[in-house]
């Protein structure tokens, strides 16, 4: 019984640490709006080496958190429902053209900083995000969640985009 409790406590501490680090990233973003706009508002990477380096470091902050969440989910440390809230964040990043350009730049070698399983997840996200324009954004997002759910064998990720509130309300009425 103590072992189960220790395991639950360890999982809670890991989750809490990861969430606190994400809050620190949000603070960083709030204090560095010029750098943040080079990722979220730009279509291309900065030409100036210092700006490009700063952008890469900013992106790596996010990717490091994502990779930890991904690995914790794969190893069963992170609850699938909690991981679902991180998947949407990975999806949003993968839709930023500057991120896609940085990730695919062979000279930068950004993917090589991450474990192969996580690289595959990011590659899937970018591949789906770059689907032809005739596929609407909601369908692309749904496609990514499905592909990632298949990769992880995780039905929670697959159903993340379903309106849970409506399901719960219908259960209450019956």
Rounded CA separation 125/75 (Å) = 21
For position 18, what pLDDT does the model report? Answer: 87
Q: Mean pLDDT lowest for which of 87-96, 101-110, 114-123?
A: 101-110
Q: Report the pLDDT value the prediction gives residue 7, as an integer from 0 to 100.
A: 77
- Structure pTM? 0.84
- Report residue 80 as tokens: 């699938």
Nearest to 38 by CA among 20, 21, 57: 57
d(CA 149, CA 50): 37
**Angle 100-104-107 from CA coordinates, rounded to 5°:** 135
| 106 phi and psi angles, rounded to 5 deg | -65, -30
Whole-angstrom Cα distance, residue 147 to residue 172?
Answer: 32
**CA-CA distance, 111 to 103, in Å (whole number)?**
6
Which own/partner pairs from 25-33 qualify as long-range (CB within 8 Å, at least 24 positions apart)? 25/61, 25/62, 25/65, 28/58, 28/61, 32/58
pLDDT of residue 174: 47
pLDDT value at 172 more than 70: no
pLDDT of residue 164: 66
Q: Which of these, 97, 77, 76, 78, lies nearest to 87 by C-alpha position?
A: 78
d(CA 46, CA 59) in angstroms, rounded, equals 13
What total of structural domains would you count in the chain?
1
Chain-wide mean pLDDT for the chain?
A: 88
Q: How far apart are CA 8 and CA 96, in angstroms?
A: 36
Token look-up 């994502």 returns: 66
Q: Which domain holds residue 169?
A: 2-173
């Amino acid at each position: 019984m103590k072992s189960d409790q220790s395991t639950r406590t360890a999982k809670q501490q890991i989750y809490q640490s990861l969430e606190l680090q994400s809050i620190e990233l949000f603070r960083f973003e709030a204090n560095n709006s010029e750098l943040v706009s080079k990722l979220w508002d730009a279509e291309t990477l900065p030409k100036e080496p210092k700006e490009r380096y700063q952008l890469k470091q900013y992106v790596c902050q996010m990717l490091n958190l994502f990779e930890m969440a991904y690995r914790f989910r794969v190893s069963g440390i992170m609850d699938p429902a909690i991981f679902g809230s991180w998947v949407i964040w990975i999806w949003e990043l993968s839709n930023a053209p500057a991120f896609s350009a940085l990730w695919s730049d062979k000279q930068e070698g950004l993917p090589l900083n991450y474990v192969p399983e996580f690289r595959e997840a990011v590659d899937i996200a970018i591949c789906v995000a770059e689907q032809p324009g005739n596929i609407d954004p909601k369908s692309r997002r749904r496609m990514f969640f499905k592909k990632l759910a298949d990769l992880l064998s995780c039905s929670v990720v697959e159903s993340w985009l379903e309106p849970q509130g409506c399901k719960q309300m219908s259960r209450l009425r019956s």
